[in-house]
Amino acid sequence: MKNNIVLSKSSSNEDLKRYFTGVLELSKSDNKFPINLDEVWPLVYNSRSDAMKALRKNFFENEDYVTVGQNPHGREKGQFAKTDYFLSLSCLEYFIARKVRPVFEVYRKVFHKVAETPILASYQIEDPIERAKKWIEEQEERKKLELQYQEQQILIEQKDARLELQKKELREAAPKVTFYDDVLQSTDTMTTTQVAKSIGMDANKLNRRLRDIGIQFRQSGMWMLRAPYCQWNLHGTRTQTFTHSDGTTGTSQYTVWSMRGYRLIHALNANGWNIRKAIKSINPDWPGCQKKEGKEACAV
């Protein structure tokens, strides 16, 4: 709102009423999210960050609130970009107003049309016709409030169900995320013997199996990957230095597998060595091999 009012725990009832009345008028336009979080969070929360965390945890973006980025180029000027949060009326009520009784009392007087002065109940009216009219109004209002309450309860239950579903999805995804963080992102490598042992094979059997399904071939004593696997960062070599009995030194090379390669081999073993099924089961974001002119495959 453009009323320069920022509410706080010390705001008077008049300040609250003036603010909520302005929000009510603004809500009559097409603006579905008329409340700036910065204007109301001090009513309940100790800091803006606490309010943002609670908002993101318990409400849904683009349904209960929207975000608007400000000053996207501010960092170039030594400033920090800021994101504003704008709330819907229902979000304001459940996120802010209902949490503080005095605030909610003012809120409902503005939005739920609760009169400042007492109104006579139907049983207090002497005229029978007026008493009957008033009784009908009371019953209609009661039914309206009951319907609103039921609708609000349904919305709350739906939001709770969505939150539970999100929590379930996160729990189910946790092992995959952990594997990706702990294994796929690791810079460690494993020898063919180590990888083969992890799936109950020896190195020779694993190499033959990978050759038979078309992933690698042997050339000049070295195992090399065919296209497109040669560009997937699956596999590499290490150089080992050794000393001969006559004191001279020599070197030899042996194959090592990256954590990507380790994951793919495990997926192949779990899917009957069917390449398409194995890749589909882990859905890796690996680029294909770009063939070089005159070469069918490239060494790792």
Most confident stretch, 157-161, 263-267, 283-287:
263-267
CA separation (Å) from 150 to 137, 273, 285?
Answer: 20, 55, 47
Q: Is the pLDDT of residue 270 over 60?
A: yes
In this prediction, residue 202 carries a pLDDT of 93
Q: What is the pTM of this model?
A: 0.37
In this prediction, residue 213 carries a pLDDT of 94
For residues 146 and 139, give the distance between their C-alpha atoms in angstroms, rounded to a whole number.
10
In this prediction, residue 77 carries a pLDDT of 54
In this prediction, residue 47 carries a pLDDT of 92
Q: Is the pLDDT of residue 265 over 60?
A: yes
CA separation (Å) from 131 to 119, 121, 124, 144, 233?
Answer: 13, 8, 8, 20, 84
DSSP structure string for 175-222: HHHHHIIIIIT---EEEHHHHHHHTT--HHHHHHHHHHTTSEEEETTE
Tell me: the pLDDT tens digits for 70-114?
655 555 555 556 789 999 888 888 888 888 888 888 888 887 664
**Who wins on pLDDT, 4 or 51?**
51
In this prediction, residue 114 carries a pLDDT of 46
Q: Is the pLDDT of residue 292 over 50?
A: no
Would you call 80 exposed, middle or buried from its count of C-beta atoms within 10 A (0-12, 13-18, 19+)?
A: exposed
Tell me: the pLDDT tens digits for 119-133?
556 667 777 888 788
Tell me: the pLDDT tens digits for 157-199?
888 888 888 778 767 766 555 544 444 444 567 889 889 998 9
In this prediction, residue 299 carries a pLDDT of 36
Peptide bond into 228 cis (omega under 30): yes
For residues 96 and 44, give the distance between their C-alpha atoms in angstroms, rounded to a whole number.
6
- Looking at residues 213-240, what average pLDDT do you find? 84
Tell me how many degrees the CA angle 220-222-225 measures, rounded to the nearest 5: 115
